[in-house]
Structure 1
């Protein structure tokens, strides 16, 4: 039986979700570590109409996943704290309403309001045009606006683990067929979400790909005095405007009308297993979001600072990636594309941990400091040749 209920959205609107109590993706799982609840539904009305959503409740954290939008994570809520942001876009927006191939190349922005959205797979950076001015690659690629199919849930009562699994195919006759198999993993009673992504080339010839995890946080975690912590090996501004704030690249200020985005490129130091962690923490150091990933597979990190007016999108982004988000041809020239042989698979792992008290923030901060304690970062004051197009 379907249950249509109103959901008070975190961007101040009230939306309708048709929750389906009879869906095989709606379940309560009893584990040794506690109960995990899931429910499956679809948004009703407006630009969100028919967007599929799966809610996962670990007992301490609620995660809203959007299979219709490339298995993006729309929002996370824990201890009454919202992890996400207030976009001027009233989402989630159905991909049919997003003009990806708008002649400007910027149509992707008309659907952008998630906490986590993947960019790729053919390209993940700036829009690119051919010599005649025709769009070749739109901003941030297609994967975030393709629907997943073959949705399923797997769980293990002994360990308290539950995984939501979806597969997305990005294809074009004569050109590509890339299959992204995404597993979103949680454990009962925990604040951690693991994204386990495998990209397989299903054609008979080698393929190249790019992938970027656009992880975006606004208030209440983001506020004046919030800081991004990262164990930088090398750091550089993307452009001259970003270079003008190099001395405060990781510091977040007041919401400012007319503020233009600043972007910083980095490579981060990892531990013996090549894992690194970065974190946005609040000014009071009592809440934050930590992002952990493997620098061997995702060797580049982008910090996007967009502290504009709250009505315009007060948000910052932490973005592990296979490359920097320049045009695809530039990144190809620099050797920053991933080659996948026929039938082979490239695997990527990213973990998010929501931090709701001082002890949790302090623990992550100490880990980040330990990663960089033996090597001072190389900080460039100007954009670097080969990094910035």
Structure 2
């Protein structure tokens, strides 16, 4: 349990549970955020799940059913056509960020993941888009010594200043005593069959809509 409390400010409580089954390749992170104050309170939560080598490599790929993809800034827009593909470690690389709205199955759940070039290793993340309606993809394919890493980040918002997120309606509120629950199931995938099953599942959801790929960032002014 963690409390975020301030005089004339938020009085939020988060309860976290991490669970797994012995022998399983999966783990669940489950959070409940509660407003313990008397006044309505804004909140945001973004899960920054980082992955690196050996899963991350040249030709590795982000996979996930998406409704819309928007580059975070002009630098990210330069590589929008290859936003889901990763480069080899590149000295001096400047991070690129892509903001996504996911598609879900008929139960309101979606699955995203990272798979290696040979598609025999991967990680999947499954969650509800009612709980976590947005995904941020952070790509930092710098040299390994400087940090060759990527972040798959489900959340209630994108990683902008809260003023900007309010403009786009991405800052939810909790009434007094109200809670927001979110959970993510992480699964390690080994072998082409397991990775292929993930890709098939994602493609099935993606058939519900053609993705919209924006070439320009949102107007944040």
TM-score range normalised by the length of the shorter chain: over 0.9
- Superposed displacement of residue 240, structure 1: 1.0
Classify the secondary structure of the residue corresponding to 2:100: strand
Counterpart residue number, 2:187: 353
Counterpart residue number, 2:95: 261
- Superposed displacement of residue 344, structure 1: 1.3
- Cα distance in 2 for residues equivalent to 1:196 and 1:374: 28
- Superposed displacement of residue 271, structure 1: 0.7
Q: Deviations over 1:192-228 (max 9, x none)?
A: 1111110011111111100000011000100111000
For the pair shown, which has the larger CA radius of gyration, 1 or 2?
1
Which of 275, 280, 284 is equivalent to 2:114? 280
Which of 95, 104, 108 is equivalent to 1:270? 104
Matched, 1:170 2:9: no
Classify the secondary structure of the residue corresponding to 2:113: strand
- Cα distance in 1 for residues equivalent to 2:107 and 2:58: 34
More displaced stretch, 326-335 vs 212-221: 326-335
TM-align CA RMSD: 1.1
- Superposed displacement of residue 381, structure 1: 1.2
TM-score (norm 1): 0.56
Point out which structure has higher relative CO (alpha carbons under 8 A, 6+ apart).
Answer: 2
Counterpart residue number, 2:48: 214
The structure whose residues are more often strand, as a share, is: 1
- Cα distance in 2 for residues equivalent to 1:174 and 1:315: 39
Which of 176, 185, 196 is equivalent to 2:30? 196
Counterpart residue number, 1:183: 17
When the two structures are aligned, how many residues end up with a matched partner?
Answer: 221
- Cα distance in 2 for residues equivalent to 1:304 and 1:276: 19
- Cα distance in 1 for residues equivalent to 2:203 and 2:57: 23
- Cα distance in 2 for residues equivalent to 1:374 and 1:342: 37
Q: Which runs of 4+ in 1 moved over 6 A?
A: none
- Cα distance in 2 for residues equivalent to 1:356 and 1:224: 19
Counterpart residue number, 2:130: 296
Structure 2: which 5+ runs fail to align? none
Counterpart residue number, 1:225: 59
Which of 171, 176, 188 is equivalent to 1:342? 176
- Cα distance in 1 for residues equivalent to 2:213 and 2:59: 22
- Cα distance in 2 for residues equivalent to 1:382 and 1:344: 37
